[in-house]
Structure 1
Amino acid sequence: MFKITPNPPETDAPTDSDPTSPYSTLDPTKLNDAAERALDHYLKPTTPQPPRKPSGMFVVAPQIDNESLLAHACESMASASIMLSDFAALLDTPYRHTLLGIQQVVMLGELAVNRALDNLEPPTRN
């Protein structure tokens, strides 16, 4: 179907006296300032942020050995796996599958931590 569209109104070319033209007064200084601001916005490096200092509220003591850390991580992941499994039993099918998928990821992480514990060389006691 052909729709008739009206022609735009005829206007004269913009001149210096046209108050509606945004380009009637092209001041080179204003254009240069605008270009500098645009380039600075995109290309000027931002001031570096000070290094982030982590909160000391939940800090793991630095003197704890790797074996203890891995054992604790393994126990935490095993607990999370059991909680997810128990909670999944209470839900209907679509949500149960999602929760069991999360539980499987946690269980695989637990297996990886267990393997790291098995491969860890026990420190020699003097």
Structure 2
Amino acid sequence: MPDDTLDTPETSAVHSTPPYLCGDSKRFHKAADRALDHYLKPAPRVDGHNPRKPAMIFIVDPEVDNETLLAQVCELLASANAMVSDLAGLMEGTQRNTMLAVQQVIMLGELAVNRALDNVGAS
């Protein structure tokens, strides 16, 4: 009966054969490489056009006006600001400083979007 257990740090010391040299492991890795290539490598171009159509899972309605879009971006940036602030509170040292710097960049973006929103509202 074949052994269907996976090599773990505890069991790998028992097995001296590297995973790429085992027959089943080679087949597994070849299949994994094919799957990764299928999803991650760009498809070959035919007549200069990419035959793959991008997924349309998330789209922005083309009918949405600029003021609504800017208001949405402002809310998204405010949410990101709050999340980064919470994370910064859990960290120390250079990681905390990095999170606070990211928070400042988000705040600058938020200020720019608010100004654009004011300009759109004033028009």
TM bin (shorter chain): 0.5 to 0.7
In structure 2, the partner of 1:116 is 116
Q: Which has the larger radius of gyration?
A: 1
SS of the equivalent of 1:55 reads coil
Alignment of 1:69-108 (within 5 A): 69-108=69-108
Q: Please identify which structure carries the higher helix content.
A: 2
1:81 alignment partner AA: N
User: Per-residue CA shift, 1:101-122, capped at 9, x if unaligned?
Assistant: 1111111001000000000146
1:84, 1:71 → 2: CA distance?
Answer: 20
User: How well do the aligned residues superpose, as a CA RMSD in angstroms?
Assistant: 2.2
Write the mapping of 1:1-126 to structure 2, written as runs, cut at 5 A.
Answer: 48-50=48-50, 53-121=53-121
Which runs of 5 or more residues in structure 2 are unaligned?
1-46
Count of matched residue pairs = 78
Name the TM-score, length of structure 1 as normaliser.
Answer: 0.55
- Greater than 4 Å deviation, 4+ residue runs: none
User: Structure 1 residues 92 and 115 mapped into 2: Cα distance closer, same or farther (>3 Å)?
Assistant: same
Judged with a 3 Å threshold, the aligned counterparts in structure 2 of structure 1 residues 105 and 51 are, in CA distance, closer, same or farther, namely farther
Measured in 2, the distance between the counterparts of 1:82 and 1:53 equals: 36
